[in-house]
Amino acid sequence: MFKFLVNPNKFNKFADIILKPLVIITLLTLIAGLLLVYLSPLDYQQGLTVKIMYIHVPSAWLALLTYAIMTIYSIIGLAFKIPFSFIINKAIAPIGAVFTILCLFSGSMWGKPMWGTWWVWDARLTSVAILFILYLLIIFLNHTFENREVREKTIAIFILIGSINLPIIKFSVDWWNTLHQPASISKLSSPSIDISMLQPLLVMTVAFSLVGLIIAILRIKAEILMRKNYL
Amino acid sequence: MGLIKKIFFFFKRELNLFYSNIADLFSNILFFFLSIFIFVFALGADEQFLKNIGVGIIWSLLLLSSTLSLRKFYEDDFNNGVIKIIHMSGISYELIVFLKIMSHFFFVQIPFLISIPIACIFFNLPINEVYNLILTFIIGSLILSCLGSISASMNLLNKTNFSIGSLIVLLFFIPVIIFSIGINNSEASFSSLINLLLGIALIFLGISPWSSASFIKLAIRNK
Q: State the pLDDT at residue B186.
A: 64
Q: Chain B within 8 Å of A2 (Cβ-Cβ)?
A: no
The pLDDT of residue A112 is 87
ipTM of this complex = 0.78
Cβ contacts from A onto B, under 8 A: 45
Give the phi and the psi of residue A47 in degrees, each rounded to 5: 70, -135
| Domain assignment of residue A42, yes or no | no
Which residues on A lie below 8 Å from B161 (Cβ)?
140, 143-144
User: Residue B92: is it exposed, middle or buried by C-beta count within 10 angstroms (0-12/13-18/19+)?
Assistant: exposed
Residue A25 lies in a domain: no
With CA atoms as reference, the chain B residue closest to A144 would be: B161
Residues forming beta bridges with residue A47, ordered by sequence position: A43
**Cα torsion angle, B45, B49, B55, B58, sign:** negative
Secondary structure of chain B in the HEC alphabet? CCHHHHHHHHHHHHHHHHHHCHHHHHHHHHHHHHHHHHHHHHHCCCHHHHHHHHHHHHHHHHHHHHHHCCCHHHHHHHHCCHHHHHHHCCCCHHHHHHHHHHHHHHHHHHHHCCHHHHHHHHHCCCHHHHHHHHHHHHHHHHHHHHHHHHHHHHCCCCCCCCHHHHHHHHHHCHHHHHHHHHCCCCCCCHHHHHHHHHHHHHHHHHHHHHHHHHHHHHHHHCC
Per the DSSP assignment, residues forming a β-bridge with A43 are A47
**Residues B178-199: pLDDT tens digits?**
888 888 776 667 888 888 889 9
d(CA A140, CA B162): 12
Q: Cα–Cα distance between B28 and B217 in angstroms, integer?
A: 30
Contact criterion met (CB below 8 Å) for B97 and B74? no
Separation CA B93–CA B83 (nearest Å): 8
The answer to whether position A134 is within a domain reads: yes
Decide if B164 and A137 are in contact by the 8 Å CB cutoff: yes
Query: Does the residue A162 lie in any domain?
Result: yes
- Mean pLDDT to the nearest integer, B105-124: 87
Smallest Cβ distance to A144: which of B160, B214, B219?
Answer: B160
* pLDDT at B113 exceeding the cut of 90: no
Contact A149 B222 (CB under 8 A): yes
Among B21, B73, B69, residue whose Cα is nearest residue B216: B73
Residue A141, domain extent: 54-182+192-227
Indicate if the pLDDT at residue B55 is higher than 90.
Answer: no
In this prediction, residue B188 carries a pLDDT of: 64
Could you read off the pLDDT tens digit of each residue along chain A, which spans 231 residues? 677 788 888 888 888 899 999 999 999 999 999 998 888 888 777 778 888 888 999 999 999 999 999 999 999 999 998 888 999 999 999 999 999 999 999 999 988 888 888 888 888 888 899 999 999 999 988 888 878 888 888 899 889 988 988 888 888 877 777 777 777 766 556 667 777 788 888 999 999 999 999 999 999 999 998 888 776
Number of domains, chain A? 1
**How far does the CA of residue A165 sit from the closest CA of chain B (Å)?**
10
Short-list B142, B144, B141, B154, CA closest to B212: B154
Contact A157/B215, CB-based, under 8 Å?
yes
Best A126, A130, A132, A157 residue to mutate vs chain B (most B CBs within 10 Å): A157
Q: Say if the Cβ atoms of B164 and A134 lie within 8 Å.
A: no
User: How many angstroms away from the CA of B164 is the closest CA of chain A?
Assistant: 8
Q: Do B171 and A157 touch (CB under 8 A)?
A: no
Say if A137 is an interface residue toward chain B (CB within 8 Å).
Answer: yes
Residue A129 pLDDT: 92
Which among A115, A124, A64 has a CA at the least distance from the CA of A92? Answer: A64
Q: What is the pLDDT of residues A155-176, one digit of tens each?
A: 998 899 889 888 888 888 777 7
What phi and psi values does residue A52 have, to the nearest 5 degrees? -65, -30
pTM comes to: 0.85
Do the domain assignments include residue A99?
Answer: yes
What residues of chain A lie within 8 A of the CB of B154, using their CB? 154, 157-158
pLDDT in tens, B138-173: 999 999 999 999 888 888 877 777 788 888 888 888
Letter string b/e over residues A44-59, b meaning 16 or more CB atoms within 10 A of that residue's CB? eeeeebbbbbbbbbbb
Write the pLDDT tens digit of every residue in B78-109: 888 888 888 888 888 999 999 999 998 988 88
